[in-house]
């Protein structure tokens, strides 16, 4: 299996499960008074999808760090300035909140916020969406600093509909296109001619991750290699992905 196939059919697929299931709104109604009490734990593919959603090392800035001699499991010495602050269309440009991912590189959650800014006036809870008119993106030589739109809410975005397009301008016709275009696109710092480099970089992160990072510790302390292989008896059931999502990353 090629690097591209490994990324598109396994890494991206697990993230898609998180998006499709978590944001679909569910198929049943639970009275509010009982909802919190009987809420079930997320299945492994969603729990691991959340980890991928929060992963900051897939961005182009982290590749620069590696090219300069850094290690996959080391933190960045300096983060992406685009993540230092969170602007709000309701506030003047000189008023903003501190970015929850300052000091790191881009991830999905950098634009699709939930409760990171819950207690800050004019911010609060979001449905996996942005506060800005246009989402910030990493600076590159093309001179762009924002995307063409903000990050739309992800909750219910995967509900079936007659004309299934994502984003108001119908940029993506499927979730696979959306995730592929994001992980290998400008939002993560990649230029249009860098898709191959982006895919190789993502595969490198997956293969060489040690599971020792802070994010991994929140999800069982498993390396991506162990997680995606899915055969290690020490994997807790809450993180044991189904067989059809497994892959031996060293042979992919």
- How many whole angstroms separate alpha carbon 187 and alpha carbon 139? 10
Ranges 28-37, 84-93, 116-125, 192-201: which has the least confidence: 28-37
| Domain ranges within the chain, ordered by starting residue | 3-23+42-245
Query: What local confidence, expressed as pLDDT, does residue 87 receive?
Result: 94
pLDDT band (50, 70, 90) for residue 29: very low
pLDDT at 251: 73
Rounded CA-CA distance 6/58 in Å is 15
For the segment 57-69, the average pLDDT, to the nearest whole number, is 98
| Alpha carbon distance, N-terminus to C-terminus of the chain | 5
Instruction: Return mean pLDDT, the chain.
Output: 85
Distance, in Å, from the CA atom of 186 to the CA atom of 195, rounded to the nearest integer, reads: 10
Phi, psi angles (nearest 5°) of residue 161: -155, 165
CB 114 within 8 A of CB 98: no
Residue 10 has pLDDT above 50, yes or no: no
- Label residue 90 exposed, middle or buried (CB < 10 Å: 0-12, 13-18, 19+): exposed
Report the interhelical angle of 195-208 vs 60-67 (nearest 10°). Answer: 70
Between CA 220 and CA 114 the distance in angstroms is 22
Instruction: Give the mean model confidence (pLDDT) for residues 37-62.
Output: 88
233: pLDDT strictly greater than 80: yes
Least confident of 33-37, 78-82, 189-193: 33-37
Q: 151-190: buried (b, 16+ CB within 10 Å) or exposed (e) per residue?
A: bbebbebbeeeeeeebeeeeebeebeebbbbbbbbbbbbb
Reduced to 3 states, what is the DSSP secondary structure of residue 146?
A: strand
Nearest to 228 by CA among 250, 249, 209, 213: 249
* Helix, strand, coil in percent for the chain, rounding step 5: 40, 5, 55
Least confident of 20-34, 76-90, 121-135: 20-34
- At residue 8, the pLDDT reads 40
Contact 87, 132 (CB under 8 A): yes
Do the Cβ atoms of 106 and 189 come closer than 8 Å? yes
Asked whether the predicted pLDDT for residue 45 surpasses 70, the reply is yes
Rounded distance between C-alpha atoms, residue 235 and residue 222, angstroms: 8
What would the pLDDT profile of 130-179 be if each residue is shown by its tens digit?
999 999 999 999 999 999 889 888 888 888 888 777 776 677 888 888 88
Could you tell me which residues come within 8 angstroms of residue 153 by beta carbon, excluding any fewer than 6 positions away?
126, 127, 128, 129
More confident residue, 101 or 19: 101
């Amino acid at each position: 299996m090629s690097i591209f196939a490994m990324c598109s059919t396994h890494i991206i697929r697990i993230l898609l499960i998180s998006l499709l299931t978590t944001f679909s709104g569910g198929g049943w109604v639970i009275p509010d008074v009982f909802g919190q009490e009987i809420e079930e734990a997320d299945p492994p593919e969603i729990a691991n999808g959340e980890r991928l959603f929060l992963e900051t090392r897939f961005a182009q800035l982290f590749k620069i760090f590696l090219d300069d001699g850094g290690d996959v499991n080391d933190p960045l010495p300096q983060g992406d300035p685009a993540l230092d602050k969170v602007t709000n269309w309701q506030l003047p440009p000189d008023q903003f909140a501190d970015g929850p991912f300052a000091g790191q590189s881009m991830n999905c959650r950098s634009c699709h916020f939930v409760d990171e800014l819950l207690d800050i006036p004019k911010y609060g809870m979001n449905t996996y969406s942005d506060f800005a008119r246009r989402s910030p993106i990493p600076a590159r030589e093309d001179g762009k600093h924002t995307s063409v739109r903000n990050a739309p809410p992800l909750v219910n975005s995967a509900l079936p509909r007659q004309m299934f397009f994502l984003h108001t301008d119908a940029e993506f016709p499927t979730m696979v296109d959306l995730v592929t275009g994001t992980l290998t696109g400008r939002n993560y710092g990649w230029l249009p001619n860098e898709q191959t480099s982006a895919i190789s970089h993502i595969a490198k992160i997956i293969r060489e991750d040690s599971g020792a990072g802070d994010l991994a510790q929140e999800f069982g302390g498993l390396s991506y290699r162990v997680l995606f292989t899915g055969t290690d008896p020490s994997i807790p059931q809450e993180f044991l992905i189904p067989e059809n999502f497994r892959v031996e990353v060293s042979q992919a």
